């Protein structure tokens, strides 16, 4: 029941390669442009010198106001960036219609509650996937690649720890806005709203469309030891869109997932709960199994109560 209606010549299956090339160019161009604009405002907004700014971008996090500056760049250049890229592609390149009036009509509080319960169950089950993914060992012949992957993972973990080391409630709220809201809206608008329907069209399979999009979604984050959990989450949001026909569910589920994670990290930093962001050495199998059961039951019910109406089937929506 995904909605992505376009008559644009470039969107047709025979032009799939050209269409993807255009999407990649527009997306990366948009992200780079917005990140450049955000960086240009950093010295004036946060009183950071160009020298300190360059150091901040290369891993020197001992810069006053550095965390807020990084959030500004990430929020504008990534979260809003994906949103703008999706808008440019749908509005000007493919002239597509997502029929938001229909998507809004398919949204209700009951379905949202089920979607959030599914997401919560998935978060518990994802702990097992995180553990499995962390055990990845490449063959001896790929030792150089494995070393590079671990180095990248260490750098990303340091950045994540820096960004989530909130020192005040305003910083926490900024983190929720950027990591939760902006990322949730931008990434779902782009990946589930644009890429997933196109992959479904190119492969002539809704399931292939969902999983290919989930793989792209995970790969774009460049976290090799978090690849499998993010593919799983991407597929989770993809099936929410497929079964409900409304992007509002994956958008809000994505926001819920990211926001809850940020809050848990904050509570751990404040000593309220015991949670180690870096730990992948252990997993709670009972929690993972319970999460999987909630996920499966929730999705079965979510799919059942969101069966397309006869009129929608007749319209091919």
pLDDT of residue 52: 85
Average pLDDT of adjacent 10-residue blocks, the chain of 317 residues: 70 78 95 94 90 83 89 93 96 89 94 97 93 86 86 85 88 94 97 94 93 96 87 97 96 97 90 71 87 96 78 42
Kindly report the length of the chain.
Answer: 317
Cα–Cα distance measured from residue 178 to residue 72, given in angstroms and rounded to the nearest whole number = 8
Q: What is the 3-state secondary structure (H, E, C) of the chain?
A: CCCCECCCHHHCHHHHHHHHHHHHHHHHHHHHHHHHHHHHHHHHHHCCCHHHHHHHHCCCCCCCCHHHHHHHHHHHHHHHHHHHHHHHHHHHHCCCECCHHHHHHCCCHHHHHHHHHHHHHHHHHHHHHHHHHHCCCCCHHHHHHHHHHHHHHHHHHHHHHHHCCCCCHHHHHHHHHHHHHHHHHHHHHHHHHHHHHHHHHHHCCHHHHHHHHHHHHHHCCCCHHHHHHHHHHHHHHHHHHHHHCCCHHHHHHHHHHHHHHHHHHHHHHCCCCCCCCCCCCCCCHHHHHHHHHHHHHHHHHHHHCCCCCHHHHHHCC
Distance from chain centroid for Cα 85: 15
Cα–Cα distance measured from residue 115 to residue 295, given in angstroms and rounded to the nearest whole number = 9
Domain residue ranges in the chain: 99-315
Question: Scanning the structure block, which residue is given the tokens 């030891």?
Answer: 225
Question: Scanning the structure block, which residue is given the tokens 């000593």?
Answer: 271
**Phi-psi group of 245: left, alpha or beta (phi > 0 → left; psi -120 to 50 → alpha; rest → beta):** left
Cα–Cα distance measured from residue 227 to residue 39, given in angstroms and rounded to the nearest whole number = 28
Q: What is the 3-state secondary structure (H, E, C) of 157-222?
A: HHHHHHHCCCCCHHHHHHHHHHHHHHHHHHHHHHHHHHHHHHHHHHHCCHHHHHHHHHHHHHHCCC
- In DSSP terms, 5 is beta-bridged to 97
CA atoms within 13 A on the CB side of 164: 25
């Amino acid at each position: 029941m995904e909605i992505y209606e376009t008559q644009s010549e470039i969107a047709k299956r025979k032009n799939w390669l050209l269409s993807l090339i255009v999407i990649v160019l527009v997306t990366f161009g948009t992200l780079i442009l917005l990140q450049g604009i955000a960086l240009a405002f950093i010295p004036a907004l946060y009183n950071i010198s160009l020298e300190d700014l360059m150091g901040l971008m290369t891993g020197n996090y001992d810069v006053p106001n550095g965390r807020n500056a990084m959030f500004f760049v990430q929020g504008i250049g990534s979260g809003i960036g994906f949103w703008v890229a999706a808008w440019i592609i749908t509005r000007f390149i493919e002239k597509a219609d997502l029929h938001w009036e229909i998507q809004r009509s398919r949204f209700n509080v009951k379905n949202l509650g089920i979607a959030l319960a599914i997401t919560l169950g998935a978060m518990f089950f994802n702990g097992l996937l995180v553990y499995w993914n962390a055990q990845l060992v490449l063959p001896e012949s790929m030792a150089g690649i494995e070393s590079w992957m671990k180095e990248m993972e260490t750098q990303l973990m340091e950045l994540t720890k820096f960004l989530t080391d909130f020192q005040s409630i305003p910083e926490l709220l900024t983190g929720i806005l950027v990591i939760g809201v902006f990322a949730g809206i931008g990434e779902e608008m782009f990946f589930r709203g644009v890429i997933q329907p196109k992959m479904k069209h190119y492969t002539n399979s809704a399931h292939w469309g969902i999983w290919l999009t989930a793989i792209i979604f995970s790969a774009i984050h460049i976290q090799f030891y978090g690849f499998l959990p993010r593919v799983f989450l991407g597929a989770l949001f993809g099936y929410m869109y497929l079964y409900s026909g409304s992007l509002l569910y994956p958008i809000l589920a994505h926001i819920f997932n990211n926001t809850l994670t940020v809050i848990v990290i904050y509570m751990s930093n404040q000593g309220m709960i015991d949670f180690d962001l870096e730990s992948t050495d252990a997993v709670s199998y009972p929690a993972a199994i319970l999460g999987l059961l909630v996920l499966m039951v929730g999705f079965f019910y979510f799919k059942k109560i969101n069966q397309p109406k006869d009129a929608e089937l007749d319209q091919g929506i």
